[in-house]
Structure 1
Amino acid sequence: MSIVGMDAEIPTGRIVVVIDVIRAFTTAAVAFERGVTEIACAPSADVGRGLRGLYPDRLLIGEVNGLKPADFDFGNSPFEMSTARLDGRRLIQATSNGTLGLSRCPNPAALLAVSALNVGAAARWIDSNHADTPYTIICTGRTTEDWVCARYLADLLDGSAPRRADLVTGIMDGAAEHARHYARLPASERPDTSRDLSFCCDVDRSAFAMVGEVRKDHVVLTRVPC
């Protein structure tokens, strides 16, 4: 087992878990809850735009520097997903950290996207399908929330019983770090995550793993109940 950042070299043949709590994979989990059937995760906004050119019926969601580009249908927001009509739709998601992190894993034994919403389901999926396979957890952000979520997942996989309250505290500490960074930016460049944080802290509300299939220039996530 290893917990690493985005700059680490990822060995092939391992289970790779990519974590982005604030906000990419919280947004993805809520989208699946709303009836989305699959999410094509692009490593950049331009790749996402190219995919939408190929599949114009799909909604394009995500962010650049935390903000929704003008030509995207939705931002990187679980709150937005929670009120959108998405049943039966397919999405394309492009974010600065989470979807980029998925693209760094060309040959995994299995690939999962995780936030606090589905961390327990991810652990159950790994235990059921790859209990004896080594795994690497990638924290896509530098702030506290992804690393706390990674340790929480590692404890679950080791058979421990980590405290949800500690995970929530870590997520809120990470949100405070984000807020301090945003405060240094001009007002027009500050992402507003205030309506998203309650979703990001809702540990284990989603009873499914988000399992990735590596394609040529993106990763397709599907929902697998656990």
Structure 2
Amino acid sequence: MESRFLGIGELRSTPSVAVVVDVMRAFTVAAWAFARGAEKIVLAGSPDEALALKARNPEWIALKDGAPAPGFDTVNSPGLLRSLDLGGRTVVQKTTAGTVGALAVKDAPLVLCAGFVVAEATARVLRARGGDSVTYVVTGEDGRADEDLACAQYIARRAAEDGPGTDPADYLRRAR
């Protein structure tokens, strides 16, 4: 399986399979949201879009990165999600890196959003699906964030293996 590692700005065409990686916030928070019972997550392209979605759906939970802001329920923080009841609810999420990357490849036939917390599950999906090529969208720091690249490389390695294989420790150290 061929692996390409690109920043958002380096995307020139729609890949057939895209794995969008944002370790520090977006997709770690998404995994926590699902673990806390969220039914689905809607990615917003801008803070205004997130707030408009929330206005039309007041029961939704609106998350953003950065400082707290009026209209948003909280910021993208796994720790802060612990105080919210997400059971059966929809989360609308806007971030500067992860959601932007996912929306940039939204027309791909398969888009997976990942961080280390779901890395093994992501690799299993890629192994099961097969295919010739996967584009890993490294979202942070214009495609240069080492934690995102380390996670993407780990997933790529695990997707190519059958069995226990690669130890994540070296990759996780890069994410600190």
TM score, norm. by length of structure 1? 0.71
Which segments of 5 or more consecutive residues in structure 2 lack a partner in the other structure?
none
* 1:3 maps to 2:5: yes
1:149 to 148, 151, 164: 151
Q: CA deviation at 1:159?
A: 1.3
Match of 2:172 in 1: 168
Match of 1:125 in 2: 125
Please list every run of at least 4 consecutive aligned residues from structure 1 whose deviation after the TM superposition is greater than 3 angstroms.
none
Match of 1:15 in 2: 17
Match of 1:186 in 2: none
CA distance in 1, matches of 2:124, 2:82: 25
Q: CA deviation at 1:51?
A: 1.4
Alpha-carbon contact 1:59-1:92 (below 8 Å) kept: yes
Q: CA deviation at 1:104?
A: 0.4
Alpha-carbon contact 1:48-1:93 (below 8 Å) kept: yes
TM score, norm. by length of structure 2? 0.90
Alpha-carbon contact 1:42-1:48 (below 8 Å) kept: yes
Q: Deviations over 1:140-194 (max 9, x none)?
A: 002210011011011111217332211221110xxxxxxxxxxxxxxxxxxxxxx
RMSD: 1.5
SS at match of 2:42: strand
Over 3 Å counting, the alpha-carbon distance change for 1:46 and 1:154 in structure 2 is same
Q: CA deviation at 1:54?
A: 2.3
Q: How many residue pairs align between the two structures? A: 169
SS at match of 1:69: coil
Match of 1:90 in 2: 90
Alpha-carbon contact 1:18-1:140 (below 8 Å) kept: yes
Match of 1:46 in 2: 48
Match of 1:181 in 2: none
Paired amino acid for 1:127: R
Q: CA deviation at 1:14?
A: 1.1
Which segments of 5 or more consecutive residues in structure 1 lack a partner in the other structure?
173-226
Select the structure with the greater relative contact order (CA < 8 A; seq sep ≥ 6). 2
Match of 2:114 in 1: 114
Paired amino acid for 1:37: E
Paired amino acid for 2:100: L
Paired amino acid for 1:27: V
Alpha-carbon contact 1:60-1:91 (below 8 Å) kept: yes
CA distance in 2, matches of 1:11, 1:135: 13
CA distance in 1, matches of 2:82, 2:20: 22
CA distance in 1, matches of 2:89, 2:70: 21
1:57 to 47, 56, 59: 59
Q: CA deviation at 1:135?
A: 1.2
Alpha-carbon contact 1:19-1:115 (below 8 Å) kept: yes
Alpha-carbon contact 1:10-1:136 (below 8 Å) kept: no
Paired amino acid for 1:89: R
Over 3 Å counting, the alpha-carbon distance change for 1:30 and 1:106 in structure 2 is closer
Match of 2:133 in 1: 134
CA distance in 1, matches of 2:113, 2:68: 21
Match of 1:24 in 2: 26
